[in-house]
Chain A
Amino acid sequence: MKKVFFSLLTASIVLVNGFALAGSAADEVTVSDAYARAVPPGQPNSASFMLLSNGSAAGHAVVAAQSSVSRVTELHTHTMSEGMMKMRQVEKIEIPANGTTKLEPGGLHVMLIGLTQDLKPGDELSLTLTFEDGSSSRILVPVRMLQMMMKQDIGGAGHGKMNH
Chain B
Amino acid sequence: MRNAGIAAITLLLAGLLIWVTFYWNPASRERVHQALNIASAPKGGDFELTSYKGPISLKQLRGKVVALYFGYTQCPDICPTSLGYLSLALSQLSPGELAEFQGLFVSVDPKRDSLQRLKDYGEYFHPAILGITGSVDEIDDVVKKYGAAYQVTQSNSQMGYIVDHSADTYLIDRQGKLRTVLPHGTAPADVLAEIRKLLNKE
The interface of chain A, by Cβ under 8 A from chain B, is: 37, 39-47, 71-72, 74, 76, 78, 80, 82-89, 105-106, 109, 111-114, 145-147, 150-151, 153-154, 156-162, 164
Given the contacts A71-B158, A114-B158, A146-B84, A83 and B166 also touching, CB distance less than 8 Å: yes
Bound-complex Cα distance A56 to B80 (A)? 35
Bound-complex Cα distance A88 to B77 (A)? 12
| Complex interface bits, B103-143 against A, C-beta within 8 A gives 1, otherwise 0 | 00000000000000100110011000000000000000000
A43 with B187: CB separation less than 8 A: no
Q: Which residues of the partner chain A approach B21 to less than 8 Å between Cβ atoms?
A: none
B149 with A157: CB separation less than 8 A: no
A-B contact pairs, 24 of them (CB 8 A): A37-B76, A37-B80, A39-B76, A40-B121, A40-B124, A40-B125, A42-B117, A43-B121, A45-B74, A47-B76, A72-B158, A78-B78, A85-B164, A106-B78, A111-B159, A114-B158, A146-B85, A150-B84, A153-B189, A154-B89, A154-B192, A157-B189, A159-B189, A164-B185
* In the assembled complex, B153 has its CB within 8 A of some CB on chain A: yes
* In the assembled complex, B151 has its CB within 8 A of some CB on chain A: yes
B92 with A154: CB separation less than 8 A: yes
A45 with B81: CB separation less than 8 A: no
Bound-complex Cα distance A76 to B156 (A)? 11
Which chain A residue shows the least CB distance to B77? A47
* In the assembled complex, B162 has its CB within 8 A of some CB on chain A: yes
* In the assembled complex, B34 has its CB within 8 A of some CB on chain A: yes
Q: Which of A39, A76, A84, A89 sits near B149, CB closer than 8 Å?
A: A84
Bound-complex Cα distance A41 to B123 (A)? 11
* In the assembled complex, B37 has its CB within 8 A of some CB on chain A: yes
* In the assembled complex, B188 has its CB within 8 A of some CB on chain A: yes
Q: Which residues of the partner chain A approach B166 to less than 8 Å between Cβ atoms?
A: 83-85
B187 with A161: CB separation less than 8 A: yes
| Complex interface bits, B67-93 against A, C-beta within 8 A gives 1, otherwise 0 | 000000111111011001101110110
Q: Which of A78, A113, A156 sits near B77, CB closer than 8 Å?
A: A78
Bound-complex Cα distance A158 to B196 (A)? 13
The 8 A-B pairs with the shortest beta carbon distances in the complex, nearest first, are: A160-B189, A160-B187, A40-B124, A72-B158, A146-B84, A84-B164, A45-B76, A47-B76
Q: Which residues of the partner chain B approach A80 to less than 8 Å between Cβ atoms?
A: 184
B117 with A162: CB separation less than 8 A: no
Q: How far is the CB of A19 from chain B (nearest CB, A)?
A: 25
New contact pairs (5) apart from A43-B121, A154-B192, CB-CB < 8 Å: A41-B124, A74-B158, A106-B77, A154-B91, A164-B185
Q: How far is the CB of B147 from chain A (nearest CB, A)?
A: 8
Bound-complex Cα distance A40 to B126 (A)? 11
Which chain B residue shows the least CB distance to A79? B164
Q: Which of B74, B76, B155, B193 sits near A109, CB closer than 8 Å?
A: B76
Given the contacts A84-B165, A151-B88, A146 and B151 also touching, CB distance less than 8 Å: no
